Structure 1
Amino acid sequence: MTRKHQVADELPEIFARVSGLLLTEPVVDQAVAKIAQAAHQSLAGSVGAGGTLIDAQGRPTSTASTNSLVEEADRLQYELGDGPCLSAWASARAVRVDDLRDDQRWPEWGKAGARLGLLSCISVPLLVPDATGNNEPEPFGAMKVYSDQPHAFDERSEEVLSLLAGPAALILANLQARERAARLSVVLKDALHSRSVIDQAKGVLMERLHVTERGALQVMITRARAEAILLSRVAQEILDTTEIDLTP
């Protein structure tokens, strides 16, 4: 059986490891942790794995690791701003390190990782398809697996991990979009509520102080500035009490 056929035969098991994540892990951070665990279980020789979502400036936004060794190795990459995980993300290509002790691409990180007992690793990008269909897939993170033995991974390992990264990336991108939409919904609801409270408070002041709408708003603005509080809080206090000092 060829290596290509061996990898193809593993597809059902690989996809099964991530197929339930959308239903069982509705939070991005938890899904990243589950995907890291799936990556660890996918490759023989693995002593730990991790997943990282990275923003456009190269800063990690969500991270997960299966153990403290991986967590420390990843932390060193983010601290140095260099390493195979960040390179896989930046290049949108798989990156393999056969021996951290003598790899010259990231010598400082490699020596630090070797001191942790990690001797080889493989990182693959998490890619989300371009919405327009006109551009290459956009990297927004990476998955990585570590071993305590040199030369633990090969081209087949890259293929297996890349196959796992495909559906994992779609799941994580979907969850990220959901969380962004949920946050935006909360912001909009808060803004609408604040606007409603301010409008009601203006009405109260207009009646109580016999001022115009503009004058009522100015009274609230003056107090908000004097007390260094939000205008919406001033408005809510006006609605909550009739004893408040409203003198401009």
Structure 2
Amino acid sequence: MGLYLYAMLPEGKLATLTIEGMDKQPVQLYSIAPFTIAYSETERERFLASRAHLLTHERVIEAVMQAVDVHEAVPLPLQFGMVVEDWQQVRTDLITGHEKDLLGLIANLTGRREVGIKIFWDPTLELNMALEENLELKAKRDSLAEKILSMDDAIAIGQELEAALEQRQADIMDAFKDKLQPLSHEYVENELMTDNMLYNAAFLIDWDKEPEFADLVETLDQQFGDRLRIRYNDFTAPFNFVKLD
């Protein structure tokens, strides 16, 4: 029987937790000084990174977050799929040599929360808007529309249109960063996952400042109107701000 690990926090900050984890096994707590670890028993050696498994992993971590006083401790989320044979392996592989760094990461998260924002746009719409604001470029593009272009001409106009769209993208991103970054302690830009995703970022903010942060997101949403679709996540495990060398 192995152990599937979800999260760790300072010892003594959480006594009980009632939730099912992987394979509907009850999540338990184990003290291994100076930490408490949320885990469940498993007969598997590995877990496929399916949507259902990923959601279960995150749901357990979020349950731990909700069960503790965030001003005293925030659980350190552990990587998906971490299965160990026994607690000695946890001590050897996870804690020994890393105890100070792990406690430092937990201290950095305490009283704070990760919030995420994803922004989607319509590149064609934005390009047309850019052309309406740059009539010289619009006239140039229109004059070439019915011509057979040389390779050099096609590349040149393509580069100009791409630059106009990239500038528009940068302006939108700057508008969001200028408003939101001052409220954050740390900030991470993540990979764009779809062609119409403009921006994907996570912010580490003070727990009690989330309503203020959400108001700024709402203000930006109203500012850009139908040009953008914004997905804002105000409660998530702080994976983006857990880095252990």
Larger radius of gyration: 1
More strand by share: 2
> How does the TM-score come out when normalised to structure 2?
0.24
> How does the TM-score come out when normalised to structure 1?
0.24
More helix by share: 1
